[in-house]
Copies of this chain bind each other. A is one copy, B any other.
Amino acid sequence: MNTGPVAAYARLVARATRIATIGEAAAMLGWDAAAMMPAGGGAARGDQMAVLAGLAHGLATEAQVADDLAEAEAAALTDSWAAANLRLMRHAHTRATAIPPDLVEAQARANSACEKIWREARKASDFAMVRPHLAEVIRLVREQAAALSPRLGLSPLDALMDGYQRGITAADVAPVFAAYETFLADALPRAEDIQARRGTPLRPTGPFPEAKQEALCRRLSARAGLEPEHARLDRSTHPFCGGIPADVRITTRYDEADFAQSLLGVMHETGHALYERGLPAAHARQPVGEAAGMAAHESQSLIIEMQACRSDPYLSWLGPQLLETFGGDPAAYAPENLARLWRRIARGYIRVDADEMTYPAHVILRFRLEGALVSGDLAVADLPGAWNDGLHALLGITPPDDARGCLQDIHWYDGAVGYFPSYTLGAMAAAQLMNAARRAIPTMDTALAQGDLAPLLGWLRTHVHAKGSLLGFNDLLAAATGKPLDPADFQAHLTARYLS
């Protein structure tokens, strides 16, 4: 074997390529399982995914990796991309080797069992049914956090959060969320008053045939910049963006009574897909060539869906397109009406149905509860009560049952603890990025008023997509907007949209 840091780094790059390529195969199979696979293929697919995950994990943790990392790190890499890549390789290796194989296996088993029972428990709105399984999942998550914590030099909760968005800690998030809670307490009732005075918007009357919705979704997604020769649009129960940068697979679901769900959902997933498409090809299949984390990813879906497509100028272009596609009462498609319809604030129980102003309250609730679960301050048995109290404190409403309370999200039941902040960090980053893009592109609204997202996309490609994981979340924002995450931009966005 060749010696020296250059050869060691080259071996690490080759290994990362191999691991990422296995990951690509798994990504395509994951898409297939959600969008294509007949039910009878499920058991075999589980085996296929497990074997691929095992092969990738084996390659990532071979003894040679530690030797190569140490050798490569002995010399300073002058190229900033290579240096960042090596740091990310070290980070991934630390995470992959910190958890004993027994724990990995126990978590996979416990998460899978709990998730299955959660589906039944949610249907029956019966928390007791899943409580012991969730307790086991949380017990193992705490073990996982305890194993990661010293290796990463992070608190247990931060070590979990690091798995979804590197470089963001609970200490970063807590004051941002506290400030938002204060903002919301004042802003929400005022926004509700203003909304009430404006009266109820008209609802376009359907049915809206699926085929027409699908054709429109394809057209709008392509017009937003997603090239059909590198993407597919299909259906799945839970819409998502999967696949790989060269071949992104987005999904949606259609409701013939309401086209808004598919249309806005597809634009959301298109935002995710455009991020994947814009990742730096020169660093493909390397850690530094990947998206910068889940909060960064959510910022890209929300800047397209919430900032661009729900803006007044875009709606002024979209309204006539909708009228031409679906026909019906022109007043229902008037931009002003669409704005009231699709920017409607409502205190609700369900996170995924929430508007952009109350959505962070749902995230804040979960962030605090998962922190307490990880620290041990909150017992799983006390979760339903804590949930209901917490939602009441934030939004003044109390879920009528656990299906609309602590049973609604899959995340914890599937072992994903520390993920939730990404949604709101992404929403805040989207507002901050949109402000910066507007400053850089004086013609932004003129373009949006023609349904043209190209100027925005061009800016995002340069300032976000092409950076891959070269920078951490806050450094990426600072380079793009002049400052690290600043919740003021999001609050200003909400103030302009809902309080004026």
Contacts and interface: CB of A to CB of B under 8 A. Distances in A.
A18 B228 CA distance: 35
B39 A246 contact: no
Contacts of A38: 228-232, 247
B40 A247 contact: yes
Interface in A31-54: 32, 36-41, 43-45, 47-48, 51-52
A388 B149 CA distance: 74
A32 B28 contact: yes
A22 interface: yes
A255 interface: no
A202 B35 CA distance: 42
Contacts of A181: none
Contacts of A244: 41, 44
A409 interface: no
A34 to B, nearest CB: 13
B22 A229 contact: no
Contacts of A229: 38-40
Given A18-B51, A36-B36, A51-B25, A44 B232 contact: no
A236 to B, nearest CB: 14
A465 B125 CA distance: 45
Interface residues of A, number: 32
A474 interface: no
Given A24-B44, A25-B25, A232 B51 contact: no
Q: Which of A43, A55, A227, A247 counts the most B-chain CB atoms under 10 A from its CB?
A: A247
A40 B232 contact: no
Contacts of A263: none
Given A38-B230, A40-B247, A48 B32 contact: no
Contacts of A52: 22, 25
A171 to B, nearest CB: 39
Contacts of A55: 22, 55
Nearest to A277: B40
Q: Which of A22, A25, A246 counts the most B-chain CB atoms under 10 A from its CB?
A: A25
A16 to B, nearest CB: 13
A45 B28 CA distance: 10
Interface string A1-31: 0000000000000000010011011001100
Contacts of A230: 38, 40-41
A229 B47 CA distance: 18
Contact of A28 (B18, B39, B48, B231): B48
A221 to B, nearest CB: 13
Given A32-B32, A44-B246, A55-B55, 13 more contacts: A21-B47, A21-B51, A22-B51, A22-B55, A28-B28, A38-B228, A38-B229, A38-B231, A40-B229, A40-B231, A40-B247, A43-B246, A45-B247
8 residue pairs, one from A and one from B, having the closest CB atoms? A41-B247, A40-B230, A40-B229, A21-B51, A44-B246, A25-B48, A39-B229, A38-B229
14 contacts: A21-B48, A22-B51, A22-B52, A22-B55, A25-B52, A28-B28, A28-B29, A28-B32, A32-B32, A39-B229, A40-B227, A40-B246, A44-B244, A44-B246
Interface of A: 18, 21-22, 24-25, 28-29, 32, 36-41, 43-45, 47-48, 51-52, 55, 227-232, 243-244, 246-247
